[in-house]
Amino acid sequence: MANALSALTTWVEPRLAKPGVTVIALGFLGVVLAVLGLGVYGFIHGHEGIYAVTRDIPWGILISNYASFAIISTGLVLIAAISHAFGGNPLAPLANRAVYLSIITIFAAFLSIGVELESPHRMLLYNIISPNFTSNIWWMGTLYGLAVGCMLLEFFGILTENWRMALYIGVLGALAEVGANSNLGAVFATLAARPFWYGAQLPVFFLCSAVMSGAACIILFTHFAYKLRGEEIDEKNFIALRTAGKIVALCLFLIAIATVWRFIVLMTDGEMAKIAAMNLLKGNLATNFWVFETIIGIIIPLVLLVGTQLNNITAMSAASLMALVGGFFQRYDLVVNGQTVPGFLGWDNLPTYLQYMPSPAELLVVAGSISLTIAGFLLGERFFGKVFSASEH
């Protein structure tokens, strides 16, 4: 134990022991505490007064927020696993930071789903004593739980320089995350009553989005890490970031192709599917789709990455941030738009589209997940900063 603690202290980054960094991290943690307080209030008094979800639209922005951070975590784990399992590849310098960020982002996802559930303790209890092996949600929760344990053990192995353990546990964690991510997509894809979701595309689409989001996240936070230190990015890390940039560009192109084909299928898949698709193209969610999903989330990042030929780290970082923003709106539009068309459309004078607008409390939870990610990043750079530059193992 003494040797392990001694190994942990060797990774501390004293250059980041600055009052400003500490104050910023504590400020973001304050937002997280406010979200936890909101969750306790909702648990005691009920969610009806604080969340905007209804019986007709039971899944809102908190579900899409959970999905976004879980998908980012999956992408980071995959990048780390590829880097560790196949030594000598250009992504290797990013692997250790990717492992750490995958832990932070999955906890940010858990924060969102934890305060969204009316009785989160029942989920933990009945997941163990009453498993449902035919449920995608059960498999998703179980596999994400397994993945978290693997990621924590992997990062501990990295900190204590137990590379072999870190490698094997990391590969197992990556497999668990891929399975969890696929089941997350299948939660939507297997609901035949919701034509906008139904189909075999979503699980694969979620995996492609995960790889893109993970690569974008590691570019963004690696750039921020060097900015915190006031250093220029060395050649080895710049090559790694360029490789991650290529992954982002490729995945964005594939997402664009998949989106086009998704709309083609929706337009030929019955009246309810077509009505849901038109809500994105020229309805209430059109601004989300065209501005945030398409222009900010796909077109501008591709132009920046291809136009600069991945030689400008500021452009790569900006493109990564926009891709992550676009990915968040993709998840939001997917979750909300899948419920806007009433299941019994045409009966009892139901409206063509049901309406949903996030409440201030729900937006606070989203801010809490973002705050947890940023605070975790800052504290990680402070206490484990040196491990993120160790890639030769």
C-alpha distances out from residue 372 to 141, 161, 218, Å? 20, 27, 16
Q: How is residue 192 written in tokens?
A: 């035949």
- pLDDT attached to residue 88: 64
C-alpha 40: how far from its chain's center? 24
Instruction: Select from 259, 248, 179 the least CA-distant residue to 217.
Output: 248
- pLDDT attached to residue 19: 82
Instruction: Select from 251, 265, 139 the least CA-distant residue to 195.
Output: 265
Q: How is residue 386 written in tokens?
A: 């040196």
Q: How far apart are CA 3 and CA 21, in angstroms?
A: 29
339 Cβ neighbours under 8 A, 6+ residues apart? 56, 57, 58, 59, 194, 354, 356
Determine the 3-state secondary structure of 61 from DSSP. Answer: helix
State the average pLDDT over residues 229-236. Answer: 90
pTM of the model: 0.94
- pLDDT attached to residue 392: 55
Look up residue 199 and give its DSSP letter.
S
- Comparing 3 with 170, the larger pLDDT belongs to 170
124-125-130-135 Cα dihedral, nearest 10 degrees: -20
State the average pLDDT over residues 318-342. Answer: 96
State the average pLDDT over residues 203-228. Answer: 95
Tell me the average pLDDT of the chain.
91
What is the pLDDT confidence band of residue 12, given thresholds at 50, 70 and 90?
A: confident
- Among the ranges 128-142, 187-201, 300-314, which has the highest mean pLDDT value? 300-314
Q: Which CATH class is domain 60-358?
A: mainly alpha
Domain definitions of the chain by residue range: 60-358
Q: One-letter amino acid identity for 371? A: S
Instruction: Select from 117, 40, 109, 113 the least CA-distant residue to 74.
Output: 109
User: How buried is residue 146: exposed, middle or buried, by Cβ count under 10 Å (0-12/13-18/19+)?
Assistant: middle
User: Is pLDDT at 35 greater than 80 in this prediction?
Assistant: yes
Phi first, then psi: give them for residue 352, nearest 5 degrees: -65, -40
Q: How far apart are CA 351 and CA 113, in angstroms?
A: 29
User: Would you give the end-to-end CA distance of the chain in angstroms?
Assistant: 22
Q: How far apart are CA 70 and CA 171, in angstroms?
A: 17
- pLDDT attached to residue 71: 97
Q: How far apart are CA 311 and CA 65, in angstroms?
A: 32
- Comparing 33 with 13, the larger pLDDT belongs to 33
For the ranges 30-39, 97-106, 228-237, which has the lowest average pLDDT? 228-237
- pLDDT attached to residue 390: 65
Quote the percentage of the chain above a pLDDT of 70.
95
Phi first, then psi: give them for residue 148, nearest 5 degrees: -60, -45
- pLDDT attached to residue 7: 55
Phi first, then psi: give them for residue 335, nearest 5 degrees: -65, -50
User: How buried is residue 92: exposed, middle or buried, by Cβ count under 10 Å (0-12/13-18/19+)?
Assistant: buried
DSSP H helices, 268-285, are: 271-282
Q: How far apart are CA 351 and CA 335, in angstroms?
A: 19
Instruction: Select from 305, 147, 291, 295 the least CA-distant residue to 216.
Output: 305
For the ranges 74-78, 119-123, 374-378, which has the lowest average pLDDT? 119-123
- Among the ranges 80-84, 169-173, 347-351, which has the highest mean pLDDT value? 169-173
- pLDDT attached to residue 391: 58
State the average pLDDT over residues 265-278. Answer: 90
98 Cβ neighbours under 8 A, 6+ residues apart? 76, 77, 79, 80, 83, 214, 218
User: Is pLDDT at 4 greater than 60 in this prediction?
Assistant: no
What is the pLDDT confidence band of residue 5, given thresholds at 50, 70 and 90?
A: low
Look up residue 291 and give its DSSP letter.
I
Q: Of all helices (H) and strands (E), which one includes residue 166?
A: helix 163-189
Quote the percentage of the chain above a pLDDT of 90.
72
State the average pLDDT over residues 137-163. Answer: 92
- pLDDT attached to residue 6: 57
Q: How far apart are CA 32 and CA 104, in angstroms?
A: 13
Look up residue 242 and give its DSSP letter.
H
99 Cβ neighbours under 8 A, 6+ residues apart? 76, 77, 80, 151, 154, 155, 158, 170
